[in-house]
Amino acid sequence: MARRLGIAQWRSRAPSGPVGRPAAVLALGLLLLGGPAAADGIEVAASIAPVHSLAASVMAGVASPALLVPRGAAPHGYQLKPSAARALARAQVVFWIGRRMESFLVKPIAALAGASVALADAEGVHLLATRKGGIWEAEEEEPAEGAAWDGHIWLDPRNARAMVAAMVETLARLDPADAHAYRANGEALMRRLDDLDRELAGRLAPVKDIPYLVFHDAYQYFEARYGLAALGSIAASPDQPPGARRVRAVRALLAKARCVFREPVFDAPLFRSIVAGTPAGTAELDPEGIRLEPGPDLYFDLMRGLARTMRDCLSAAR
Ligand SMILES: [Zn+2]
């Protein structure tokens, strides 16, 4: 871990650009990289868009993290592209949720020279077990790999707060010259997260008891935080299309559901055939921020988008 800490410390002495760097290094940098920006600051990689968004806020004014799963790509079952593998290899630290969310990172992270932080293990992150029973149950047994926890931890703003605290501590340790910036950014971000949490609770309170179905079981943390009334998910697991038995079970629940929520990456003909002829409304949720512009505001856009879409669909008259 942190084999490249020395480089981080050297770089962080000149966080705002080439001014003050040894002239020879500056000249070499300009020669090889075509400009000073490419080598500036600490190199950080973040796995998925919500993690990247929180890291980008913590690092504001210092450097920008690389996003490994690009906009438009689904994180479940993702295969690391060569450009992302290079960003990962360069990174002094990688932030990810952990093996239950980004299975594609398990082997690359084990081979890394730099540090990695599995945010599901961060102090204060509250984990929920993968849902079992009834319509939540997977049709096949999960591979044996210890306790099965649900990886969508960012969908509770209190977990996001704990993730931010872990990022601040890690970055402050790796790049002490910029520690004050990480801490100030982290404190401002936590206040924003607290405000968001209150805002969403108020926005969702009127639709708390209205039942709905989702496409994949991503929303447990969101539902637990805001007391929502999910009936179940159409897909048993994000990597596995529903079988005939499950489709029958889902159809039986549709009579009770006010809304059925699809997602950016889903089987459109299957979804249409499942909801055809039912009175349930439909709308799209994007729990992984696949459609959103990556950056510091993505996390807030994602959470507000979920709340707005749920409230609009669930409060609409049938
Ligand atoms: Zn998911």
Q: What is the pLDDT of residues 104-116, one digit of tens each?
A: 999 999 999 899 9
Q: Which pLDDT score, from 0 to 100, does residue 287 have?
A: 96
> What pLDDT does residue 17 have?
35
pLDDT: which is higher, 249 or 92 = 92
Tell how far the Cα of 152 is from the centroid of ligand 1, in angstroms: 6
Q: How many A from CA of 208 to the centre of ligand 1?
A: 22
User: Is the pLDDT reported for residue 10 higher than 90?
Assistant: no
Torsions phi, psi for 116 (to 5 deg)? -140, 145
pLDDT of residue 16: 36
**Residue of higher predicted confidence among 136 and 222:** 222
Backbone angles phi, psi at 3, to 5 degrees: -65, -25
Question: pLDDT-derived band of residue 180, with 50, 70 and 90 as boundaries?
Answer: very high
**Ligand 1 geometric centre to CA of 217 (Å):** 7
Distance CA 230, CA 217 (A): 10
CA 252 / ligand 1 centre spacing (Å): 24
Structural contact between residues 118 and 167, judged by C-beta atoms closer than 8 angstroms = no
| 6 CB-contact burial (10 Å; exposed 0-12 / middle 13-18 / buried 19+) | exposed
Report the separation in Å between the CA atom of 238 and the middle of ligand 1, taken as the mean of its atom positions: 6
Distance 185 CA to ligand 1 centre (A): 28
The length of the chain is: 318
d(CA 284, CA 145): 32
Q: Which two tokens stand for residue 72?
A: 């438009």
Instruction: State the distance from the centre of ligand 1 to the C-alpha of 256, rounded, in angstroms.
Output: 24
Please tell me which of 5-9, 14-18, 21-25, 149-153 the model is most confident about, judged by mean pLDDT: 149-153
Q: How many CA atoms lie within 13 A of 169 on its CB side?
A: 11
Does residue 231 sit in helix, strand or coil? strand
**How many A from CA of 140 to the centre of ligand 1?**
18
What pLDDT is recorded for position 31?
38
Q: How far is the CA of 287 from the centre of ligand 1 (A)?
A: 7
pLDDT of residue 15: 34
Mean of pLDDT over the chain: 85
Tell me the pLDDT tens digit for each residue of 250-289: 888 888 999 999 998 777 888 888 888 888 999 999 999 9
CA of 288 to the centre of ligand 1 (A): 6
